[in-house]
Every structure is written in structure tokens, then in C-alpha cells.
């Protein structure tokens, strides 16, 4: 991993690769995180990646990531792979781990759940996930559960009684609360009842692409007022409604928009790369709740940003668009690291 700049800390704030790792594990292919994904992260210059280890959605056949026991198994699989990496990567659990990750020139992983339906009202599950390294939490995916409504729900009602108790537990543990996928009523319930910074790990600007998965100006401002951050999503259907306009320049328009509205300190990257899934399961993705409000032909990512190893292409275009060195450093990772460290209890 020599050659990575100490000045540029790149954070990929949302990845489903842990689900692929577990899928491979179930099918007799061990070590895919280290053997296949780690080299791609190195090519992309990534220092930290947030891995989804469960959630309220279906992605890989046979991977029951809605099930609480399966989430424990997915976490265990990642921990085994990290242990076998011979020091090439670490699990980030506390503030000091960010410095350790930089000093050792390793790749740091963080665990997240993309919907907490598997926890429901049994918060002991959440606490045990935390003990195993879970640090980022969404209340729900596009659907509703015992805690809140997702953005795909008709006539959403907002947080439930358990939802309010859940965010108090998240706050007490010092976990990162993620509002991507959540409905607007649930979003505003969180804004009005949660004191810590919040993130939207992989959401774009609704004014540039009218999709319920994207954020309104008022939501963007509310996240910034809480000193949180928005991770830009590279998914085609969240970049522009017109497929002819889905390109790298249009993606950067979303970055420009947030920068101009609230400042560069409140935007980062949450690509949600699915190139590894699309190779075998593109039809399943287009039919799933992952692609809400998106025509099947718009499921994919940008041609020049289809995988994590292509992130240097984004940096080049940001420079060409006039972004300063410091702004690029902030956007590519510094902003997210600052928010994570502000939220963690230790």
C-alpha cells in the first residue's frame, strides 16, 4: 500500500461488499474481501470503507440479511477476513483507530446496517452488534418496519414509539445515525428529536434529480445545521431523470449544488458501487426495492465510475472543475472522518 498520500484520506461511506463476501462464503469461496476487494480499494486509493452487514432489503440469493442471526454471521465472516489480512486492514471501532489506520497505512473498515428491522424493539441485539463493531445505523430501508417509514412507503407516518427509543439508544452508544432511505416525516422526527450530527451516507440532490431517495434543499440544510454530512451516490437513477444526462459532469453538479447551498464541509462520497452484483444479478437488482423510482435501464453506475478502483477519475474531474486541493481532500474523506470522530463515544 505504499504510495498512498498521507494528505488524502478517501472514505467510501457506503458499500454492500460484505454481503458479497458472505454470499461467496456460503458458496465455498472464502477470502473474497481480502483476495478480490482489497486490491480494488488500493487502486482507488481508499483508506476507509463502510460495509453494510445487514438491512431491510434483498440483494444476494440465499443471504438473509434481514435476519438478526444472519447479521451476526455476516459480521463474523468479515472479522475472520480482517484477521487473515496479515495487517493490511483493520476494523475501526473508536476515534483513535482513525489515526492508527493512517499511521499503519492500512485500510480501515466500519460496519453498518441499512435498515434495523432485524432489531425491532429488542435493543439488546443492537448493543451486541455494537460490541462486535457495528458503528453506523439506518432505521429503515425503502419500506417500513417497527421503527420508522422508508421513502418508498405511501402515506408515511414518521417514527414510531420504538423508533424514538431506538434513536435514544443509538445516541447513548455513540453510533452514527444515517437517514438515507428514510421517509420525510421520519427524517424530520429525527431532526427535531436528535442532538448529535446525522449523515445521509448515499443520497443526492432532489432539485437536480426528482427521486424520493434524494434530499430536498430543506433536508440538506437541516443536516448541515446539525454538523452532519451527505455522501454523494453514484447510482445512475439518482443523478438525473434523463439517462442521456447521466455522466460524471452531472454527478459533480450534485457536489456543486450542496457546496453552494451549505458549504464543502457537508459533502462526501457514498458511491454504493454494485458492479460486483450487476455482473450476475442485474435483473434481480432492477426488480428489487433497491431501485425505487428507477427504470431498469438506469440501474447502473457511470461508465467512468463503475467501481471503487475508478475513484481517481473523480478526483481528476474535480480538479478540472476548479476544486482546490483542500476542497478535494475534504470531499473525498476528511469531512466524513471529522463527523465520525465527533459522534463516537471513545
Q: Residue 136 falls within a domain, yes or no?
A: yes
pTM (2 d.p.): 0.93
Domain count, the chain: 1
What is the Cα–Cα distance from 18 to 290, expressed in whole angstroms?
Answer: 16
Question: Which CATH number does the domain housing residue 28 bear?
Answer: 3.20.20.140
**Residue 299 belongs to some domain of the structure:** yes
pLDDT in tens, 31-65: 899 999 999 999 999 999 999 999 999 888 889 99
Helix ranges (H only) for 160-247 are: 161-173, 184-193, 217-225
Does a structural domain hold residue 109? yes
pLDDT for position 2: 41
Q: Which residue has the higher pLDDT, 4 or 99?
A: 99
Residue 1 belongs to a domain? no
pLDDT digits (tens, 9 = 90+) for 291-337: 445 454 445 568 889 899 999 999 999 999 999 999 999 999 999 99
| Predicted confidence (pLDDT) at residue 120 exceeds the cutoff of 60 | yes
- Whether residue 60 lies inside any domain: the answer is yes
* Cα-Cα-Cα-Cα dihedral sign, residues 36, 42, 44, 50: positive
Residue 195: exposure state from Cβ atoms within 10 A (0-12, 13-18, ≥19): exposed
> Is 278 contained in some domain?
yes
Q: Which domain holds residue 97?
A: 10-343
- CA atoms of 292 and 161, how far apart (whole Å): 27
4 domain residue, yes or no:
no
* Residue 217 maps to a domain: yes
Amino acid at each position: 500500500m505504499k504510495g498512498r498520500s498521507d494528505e488524502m484520506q478517501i472514505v467510501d461511506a457506503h458499500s454492500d461488499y460484505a454481503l458479497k463476501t458472505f454470499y461467496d462464503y456460503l458458496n465455498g469461496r472464502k477470502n473474497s474481501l481480502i483476495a478480490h476487494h482489497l486490491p480494488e480499494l488500493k487502486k482507488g486509493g481508499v483508506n476507509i470503507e463502510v460495509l453494510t452487514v445487514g438491512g431491510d432489503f434483498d440483494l444476494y440469493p440465499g443471504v438473509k440479511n434481514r435476519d438478526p442471526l444472519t447479521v451476526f454471521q455476516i459480521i463474523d465472516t468479515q472479522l475472520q477476513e480482517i484477521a487473515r489480512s496479515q495487517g493490511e486492514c483493520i476494523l475501526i471501532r473508536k476515534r483513535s483507530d482513525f489515526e492508527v489506520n493512517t499511521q499503519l497505512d492500512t485500510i480501515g473498515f466500519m460496519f453498518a446496517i441499512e435498515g434495523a428491522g432485524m432489531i425491532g424493539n429488542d435493543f439488546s441485539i443492537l448493543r451486541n452488534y455494537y460490541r462486535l463493531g457495528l458503528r453506523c445505523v439506518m432505521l429503515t430501508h425503502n419500506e417500513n418496519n417497527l421503527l420508522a417509514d422508508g421513502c418508498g412507503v405511501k402515506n408515511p407516518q414518521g417514527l414510531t414509539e420504538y423508533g424514538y427509543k431506538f434513536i435514544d439508544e443509538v445516541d447513548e452508544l455513540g453510533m452514527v445515525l444515517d437517514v438515507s432511505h428514510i421517509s420525510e416525516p421520519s427524517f424530520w422526527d429525527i431532526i427535531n428529536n436528535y442532538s448529535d450530527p446525522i449523515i445521509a451516507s448515499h443520497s443526492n440532490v432532489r432539485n437536480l434529480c426528482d427521486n424520493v431517495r434524494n434530499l430536498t434543499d430543506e433536508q440538506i440544510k437541516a443536516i448541515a445545521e446539525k454538523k452532519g454530512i451527505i455522501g454523494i451516490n453514484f447510482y445512475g437513477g439518482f443523478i438525473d431523470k434523463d439517462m442521456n444526462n447521466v455522466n460524471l459532469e452531472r454527478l459533480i453538479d450534485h457536489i456543486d449544488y450542496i457546496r453552494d447551498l451549505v458549504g464543502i464541509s457537508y459533502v462526501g462520497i457514498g458511491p454504493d458501487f454494485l458492479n460486483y452484483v450487476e455482473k450476475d444479478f442485474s435483473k434481480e437488482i432492477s426488480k428489487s426495492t433497491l431501485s425505487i423510482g428507477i427504470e431498469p435501464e438506469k440501474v447502473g453506475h457511470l461508465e467512468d465510475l463503475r467501481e471503487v478502483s475508478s475513484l481517481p477519475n473523480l478526483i481528476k474531474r474535480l480538479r478540472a472543475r476548479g476544486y482546490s486541493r483542500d476542497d478535494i481532500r475534504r470531499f473525498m474523506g476528511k469531512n466524513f472522518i471529522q463527523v465520525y470522530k465527533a459522534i463516537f463515544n471513545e
